[in-house]
């Protein structure tokens, strides 16, 4: 059985979507735990409702000690999934889980990536620059924000009439549709998932 661990900083809607996707596939994929850096986060309520182990950690446990790293080593995940997780992964975790940490970004990287580019900050920038399309990028995690190798991208058309909220809804639809499927393909055959990566859009 394959095992995944999820990290989240927000309400956990992507986390719940992923858990429910694999709920009927427990013979093949086990969601071992959900970790969050937000005390009292709604994602922990979702975990309780779905009977999934939910754990909170603080900045010291993440960066200054091996607490979170030791938890991950004990869980032995085949993939670590960042589903709306905003902190940069420490070098020690990346080194212990090479090519096993995957993030989803709400834009077509390399555009609109980097520190501080998350959620509505991204969607506002997309609107301000009068883009005609946006989307999602699922990518491996390295030591720099949003610079890991791309695994999968999906696009959606946007218009000048779309509000930031409209753009967010379109991007969330792509996240819910594609993220669990890409995770499943990576667990079964990373090479197959990577072959589906379209050419990233050029900047400018």
Tell me the catalytic residues: 105
Tokens for 65, please give them. 């000690």
**Is the separation of the CB atoms in 113 and 107 below 8 Å?**
yes
Q: Order across the sheet with 101-105: list the strands.
A: 54-56, 29-36, 2-8, 79-82, 101-105, 133-140, 150-157
* Terminal Cα distance for the chain, rounded: 44
What's the DSSP call for residue 203? P
- Counting beta carbons within 10 angstroms of the beta carbon of residue 4, is it exposed (0 to 12), middle (13 to 18) or buried (19 or more)? buried
**E strand residue ranges, 158-199:** none
* b/e code 100-133 from CB counts within 10 Å (16+ = b): bbbbbbbbbbebbbeeebbeeebbebbbeeebee
Between strands 54-56 and 150-157, the pairing is: unpaired
């Amino acid at each position: 059985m394959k095992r995944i661990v999820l990290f989240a900083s927000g309400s956990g809607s992507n986390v719940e979507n992923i858990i429910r996707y694999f709920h009927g596939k427990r013979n093949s994929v086990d969601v071992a735990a959900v970790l969050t850096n937000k005390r009292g986060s709604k994602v922990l309520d979702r975990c309780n409702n779905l009977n999934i182990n939910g754990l909170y950690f603080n900045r010291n446990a993440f960066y200054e000690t091996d607490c979170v790293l030791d938890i991950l080593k004990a869980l032995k995940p085949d993939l670590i999934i960042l589903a709306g997780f905003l902190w940069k992964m420490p070098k020690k975790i990346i080194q212990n889980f090479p090519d096993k940490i995957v993030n989803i970004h709400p834009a077509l990287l390399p555009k609109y990536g980097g520190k501080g580019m998350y959620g509505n900050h991204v969607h506002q920038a997309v609107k301000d620059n009068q883009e005609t399309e946006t989307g999602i990028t699922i990518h491996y995690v390295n030591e720099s924000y949003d610079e890991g190798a791309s695994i999968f991208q999906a696009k959606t058309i946007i218009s000048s009439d779309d509000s930031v909220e409209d753009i967010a809804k379109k991007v969330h639809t792509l996240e819910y549709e594609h993220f669990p499927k890409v995770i499943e393909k990576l667990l079964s055959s990373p090479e197959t998932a990577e072959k589906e990566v379209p050419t990233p859009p050029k900047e400018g």
